[in-house]
Structure 1
Amino acid sequence: MTMMSTFLIIDDDISVRKMLEQLIMKNNLGKVVEELGSGEHAAEEIMFYQPDIVLIDFLLPQKDGVEIIQSCRSLGYKGKFIMISQVDNDNMIAKAYENGIIFFIHKPINRIEAINVIKGVCQNLQLERSVAMIKDAVFHIDQGKQINPQDSWKDQITPVFTDIGIVGESGYKDLLKLIGEIIILKKKSKSSNYQLQDIYLQIAEEESLLHNTPVLARTIEQRIRRTILKGLQNIAALGNDDYYNNKFTEYSSVLFDFKQVKQEIRHINNPKEDRGKINVKKFVEGVVSKLNF
């Protein structure tokens, strides 16, 4: 039996709040338990209602979205945050990613993007619930048996990377190592904070020892970025051919910044346009969110 998700929407624009509520209701994605027009008491309201998903504006009166997220995490809130933003500043967006945001809906709101992002988060929640129920059932059947998934995440990740066409890229193995390290951290704590540069350095040191040749962290980062960029280009090409392509709708918002996917599509149609950009942390967090480990 599928459990409906609960939502709390925070945006100072009432038309945005009503649009999101309508999208949630019309697509049977769940129930909106509360709407707020400012950030003043947002953390307290989130902790009171304990919604599965919070749709939160970046810039809010009294208290901004990132501050609210930090407050909720420090209080132990485990739900999902989807950030709504018209901010283009790369540093501000990077700050949001550093604080646990992996899903963005850009303003002005594109209905297809919004539905795809919200559906993806709901599906991840349902998967997490199903896995928890299975683990609980197995535990009660035989408490002496231990579930040991080993590296099953690699089997899950292959279809994803096949879909976006990056299997076999030069940085593919480095990307797998990066994701593997992040999974290890998240097994210890779901809200674990990490710096990508630290993991790049760790991978570089391991490769240096393995091959007895110095490998720079910068080299690892460049290979990973090129691999993810190839995925962005492939997804944009799919969307350019068919905006409703299943792979495009599934991955364009979860693994990439949808605004950058659209920019890459513009580049495909006019090479004078700038190319789309990638955010490594959003990509790897998006991949990890789709895995059962």
Structure 2
Amino acid sequence: MKYYIVDDNIATVKSLANTIRSREIGEVCGYSTDPEAAMEEILEERPDIVLVDLLMSEMDGISLVERLRKSGSGSAFVMLSKVTDKEMIGNAYKAGVEFFIHKPVNITEVEKVLGNVAEKIKMRRIMEDLRELFGEGGNKKEPAEDTLPEESPVNEELQSLDMIFNMLGMLGEKGTREIRDVYVCMRDCGCGYDKVILSRVAEERGDSVKNLEQRIRRAMKKGLTNVASAALADYESEVFQIYGNYVFDFKSVRDEMDFLEGKSKSGGRVSISHFMEGLILYGNSIR
């Protein structure tokens, strides 16, 4: 992974660059203390991940991210901040920030956050390749019969999945077991999520696709509501910052937060595809 660092404090820049290099997290392809100069270099260098300070004298980090997005930057953005203002943090997520690293910078947190973002990027690329392979207009490959387990094996990986379900407050939901089955089917087949996967799991369980999908959506909605509740209480909560970021996009969480606060008549929407891809990413990160 290629990293670019933008911070008007050169000491912070050097500290982050040294951490990334010494811990072999990736390659630092550039850095700048000037946001305007950084824009040109980022668009030219096309780093995978940009670490950007929230509060800079020339231009705040949110404005920089928004301008880069409008200019076609495909980089992932990690915000450096000691700010705890919920509205400002919410604006950063809306602008396209993936995660936050708190100041003063802690090496352990840098490794953890950048590792999560790197895995997320890798999974996106894998899913993009899978969509091309299995997408509309192509020949969809049916999962081989012998690759679909009759029962989800109870192993360390699935126990870790149960941990994320527990953190999301959906472990006891009826659709959670079905989500695990879909996950195992995707993992063992090396396939992205689609209706073929759902049909195979429904067939194995002797159920209809419609009933299966409804239970899965209800379980996911429960998780979304819990993540939104956690974010309302504390934007820096582990449930929101780490676990929720894997399986829900920020707009869905924000819409659910507005619903919980009575600002909207409808809550956030859940996407089975997005949720399952996030679980695959999470599973890869713990293997």
TM-score normalised by L of structure 2: 0.55
| Pick aligned residue for 1:17 from 13, 17, 26 | 13
Written as runs of structure 1 = structure 2, the 5 A alignment for 1:36-47 is 36-47=32-43
Cα deviations across residues 104-158 of structure 1 (Å, max 9, x unaligned)?
001111221111000111112222333444555678xxx7403699xxxxx9996
Q: Percent identity?
A: 25
| Structure 1 pair 59–68 and aligned structure 2 pair: CA distance change class (3 A) | same
Secondary structure in 2 aligned to 1:34?
A: strand
Tell me if the contact between 2:76 and 2:98 (Cα under 8 Å) persists in the aligned partners.
no
Match of 1:127 in 2: 123
Deviation at 1:78, TM superposition (A): 1.3
| Structure 1 pair 98–133 and aligned structure 2 pair: CA distance change class (3 A) | closer
Match of 2:66 in 1: 70
Tell me if the contact between 1:85 and 1:106 (Cα under 8 Å) persists in the aligned partners.
yes
Written as runs of structure 1 = structure 2, the 5 A alignment for 1:182-261 is 224-225=225-226, 229=230, 253-255=241-243
Q: 1:115 & 1:9 partners in 2: Cα distance? A: 15
Secondary structure in 2 aligned to 1:146?
A: coil
Q: 1:128 & 1:75 partners in 2: Cα distance? A: 21
Q: 2:275 & 2:126 partners in 1: Cα distance? A: 18
Cα deviations across residues 202-221 of structure 1 (Å, max 9, x unaligned)?
xxxxxxxx9xxxxxxxxx89
Match of 2:57 in 1: 61
Secondary structure in 1 aligned to 2:98?
A: coil
Cα deviations across residues 172-230 of structure 1 (Å, max 9, x unaligned)?
99xx9xxxxxxxxxx9xxxxxxxxxxxxxxxxxxxxxx9xxxxxxxxx89981478649
Cα deviations across residues 259-293 of structure 1 (Å, max 9, x unaligned)?
xxxxxxxxxxxxxxxxxxxx945x99996873569
Deviation at 1:50, TM superposition (A): 0.5
Q: 1:61 & 1:288 partners in 2: Cα distance? A: 41
Secondary structure in 2 aligned to 1:40?
A: helix
Match of 1:104 in 2: 100
Q: 2:81 & 2:39 partners in 1: Cα distance? A: 19
Aligned residues: CA RMSD: 4.6
| Structure 1 pair 46–27 and aligned structure 2 pair: CA distance change class (3 A) | same
Match of 1:164 in 2: 167
Tell me if the contact between 2:227 and 2:253 (Cα under 8 Å) persists in the aligned partners.
no
Tell me if the contact between 2:4 and 2:29 (Cα under 8 Å) persists in the aligned partners.
yes
TM-score normalised by L of structure 1: 0.54
Q: 1:89 & 1:8 partners in 2: Cα distance? A: 25
Bigger mean CA deviation after superposition, 113-122 or 21-30: 21-30
| Structure 1 pair 224–50 and aligned structure 2 pair: CA distance change class (3 A) | same
Count of residue pairs the alignment pairs up: 201
Instruction: State the AA in 1 paired with 2:278.
Output: K
| Pick aligned residue for 1:31 from 22, 27, 30 | 27
| Structure 1 pair 91–229 and aligned structure 2 pair: CA distance change class (3 A) | closer
Tell me if the contact between 1:103 and 1:253 (Cα under 8 Å) persists in the aligned partners.
yes
Instruction: State the AA in 2 paired with 1:224.
Output: T
Tell me if the contact between 1:166 and 1:227 (Cα under 8 Å) persists in the aligned partners.
no
| Pick aligned residue for 1:290 from 253, 275, 278 | 278
Secondary structure in 2 aligned to 1:255?
A: helix
Q: Does 1:146 align with 2:147?
A: no
Match of 1:195 in 2: none
Cα deviations across residues 238-261 of structure 1 (Å, max 9, x unaligned)?
xxxxxxxxxx8xx7853379xxxx
Tell me if the contact between 1:117 and 1:253 (Cα under 8 Å) persists in the aligned partners.
no
Q: 2:107 & 2:169 partners in 1: Cα distance? A: 28
